[in-house]
């Protein structure tokens, strides 16, 4: 390598250095550190004590099978992913029709994407209020009795899911709309000449050609649902109750009980769950997307 090439390479690495250092300090470093301390008993105020795999064993042997309860609640919120994708696809299809007022609805759908999750959650907490909430008032007009969305253990996860679907479908709508813009109009014109109706066009052209988008939104939505925290924390006032999931348990163990080793072990269990779910999505949906 001559001097000129070496200097150019050096300049290139110099530009990359801030990102590399940032990644090592704020991403890879904490990941490695969390894995190491998952084998220690450490409460931040005393010297760490090596306990081997005791933290991982405690997760599965904890009295009352608490882990499996949190695990089940974590998986429950996966139900929001297909629902918000279906809502988003329908909304994006309507926007793509270029009907009157489309620009207004584009802005309207994008609002939840840019708003703070906490502020949205607070608004939804009022909407789901048992006595004066908008949703219960609408149900009252339909002759349905009031539902305790945020206090009844049977309904609290459903109430939180409604808010998550509303917010998540906004982002998914924008992604679906961009993907719909990339489908050539000629395909629909040829289908119309062959006598295909709107519903047939949607099933035979739109849905298959959006396969890569389906995979992307399914995977990212799944990852987000498994790490759902802010809506649960705000709507349950930090108690979680029947909506207590794995990420909430990690938060409680780390920042309330200061059991950093156990919290790190739980974090790695959550990582394994996310890794498995992502792999399953890619295994069953990714192959279809490649041939779409």
Do 171 and 27 lie in one domain? The reply is: no
Angle (deg, nearest 10), helices 211-226 and 156-181: 150
- Three-state DSSP class for residue 41: strand
According to DSSP, residue 243 is labeled: G
Do 127 and 42 fall within a single domain?
no
Which residue matches tokens 């109750």? 241
Same domain, 76 and 34: no
232 in the same domain as 116: yes
Q: Please, which residues have CB within 8 angstroms of residue 182's CB and are 6 or more apart in sequence? A: none
Closest CA to 136 of 152, 148, 122, 121: 148
The answer for residues whose C-beta is within 8 angstroms of residue 176's C-beta and 6 or more apart is 88, 89, 91, 92, 93, 210, 213, 217
Q: Are residues 80 and 170 in the same domain?
A: yes
Q: Does the pTM exceed 0.95?
A: no
- pLDDT 10s digit of each residue in the chain, 292 long? 567 787 888 888 888 899 999 999 999 999 999 999 999 999 888 899 999 999 999 998 877 668 889 999 999 999 999 999 999 999 998 888 877 777 777 777 788 888 888 999 999 999 999 888 999 999 988 888 889 998 888 899 999 999 999 999 989 999 999 999 989 889 888 888 888 888 888 888 898 899 999 999 999 999 999 999 999 999 988 888 889 999 999 999 999 999 999 999 999 999 999 999 988 888 877 655 554 5
φ and ψ at residue 241, rounded to 5 degrees: 60, -130
Q: Which domain holds residue 140?
A: 65-290
Q: What gap in Å lies between CA 129 and CA 233, rounded to an integer?
A: 16
99 vs 119: CA distance, rounded Å: 31
Q: Are residue 38 and residue 148 in the same domain, yes or no?
A: no
Residue-wise pLDDT tens digits, 221-268: 999 999 999 999 999 888 888 899 999 999 999 999 999 999 999 999
Q: Interior CA angle at 101 toward 99 and 102, to 5°? A: 65
Domain boundary among 40, 61, 82: 61
Judgement on whether residues 249 and 138 belong to the same structural domain of the protein: yes
Q: From residue 38, give the alpha-carbon distance in Å to each of 59, 188, 257.
A: 12, 56, 15
Same domain as 206, residue 71: yes
Q: Do 157 and 269 reside in the same domain of the chain?
A: yes
Q: Look up residue 7 and give its two tokens.
A: 């200097």
- How do residues 177-210 score in pLDDT, each as one tens digit? 999 998 988 988 888 888 888 888 888 889 889 9
Nearest to 176 by CA among 245, 51, 90, 241: 90
3-class secondary-structure state, position 49: strand
229 close to 143: Cβ distance less than 8 angstroms: no
Rg of the chain in Å (alpha carbons) = 24
CATH label of the domain that carries residue 84? 1.10.3720.10
Q: CA–CA separation, 265 vs 260, rounded Å?
A: 9
Tell me, yes or no, whether 57 and 69 share the same domain.
no
173 and 45 within one domain = no
Q: Are residues 56 and 190 in the same domain?
A: no
Torsions phi, psi for 194 (to 5 deg): -85, 0
Largest CA distance in the chain: 82
Number of independent structural domains in the chain: 2
What sign has the CA pseudo-torsion 21, 23, 25, 31? Answer: negative
């Amino acid at each position: 390598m001559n001097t000129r090439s070496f200097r150019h390479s050096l300049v290139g690495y110099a530009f990359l250095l801030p990102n590399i250092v940032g990644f090592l300090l704020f991403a890879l470093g904490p990941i490695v550190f969390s894995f190491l301390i998952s084998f220690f008993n450490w409460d931040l105020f005393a010297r760490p004590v090596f306990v081997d795999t005791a933290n991982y064993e405690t997760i599965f042997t904890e009295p009352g099978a608490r882990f499996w309860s949190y695990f089940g609640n974590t998986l429950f919120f996966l139900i929001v992913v297909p629902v918000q994708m279906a809502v988003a696809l329908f909304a994006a299809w309507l926007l793509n029709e270029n009907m009157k007022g489309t620009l207004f609805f584009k802005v309207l759908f994008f609002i939840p994407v840019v708003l703070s999750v906490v502020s949205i959650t607070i608004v939804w907490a009022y909407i789901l209020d048992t006595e004066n909430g908008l949703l219960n008032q609408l149900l009252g007009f339909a002759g349905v009795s009031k539902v305790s969305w945020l206090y009844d253990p049977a309904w609290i996860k459903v109430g939180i899911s409604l808010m998550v679907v509303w917010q998540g479908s906004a982002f998914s709508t924008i992604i679906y709309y961009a993907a719909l813009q990339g489908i050539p109009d000629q395909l629909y014109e040829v289908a119309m000449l062959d006598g295909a109706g709107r519903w047939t066009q949607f099933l035979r052209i739109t849905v298959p050609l959006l396969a890569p988008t389906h995979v992307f939104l399914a995977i990212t939505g799944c990852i987000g649902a498994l790490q759902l925290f802010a809506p649960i924390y705000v709507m349950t006032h930090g108690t979680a109750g029947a909506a207590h999931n794995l990420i909430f348990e990690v938060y409680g163990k780390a920042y309330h009980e200061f059991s950093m080793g156990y919290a790190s072990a739980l974090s790695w269990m959550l990582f394994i769950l996310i890794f498995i779910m992502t792999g399953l999505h890619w295994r069953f949906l990714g192959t279809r997307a490649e041939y779409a």
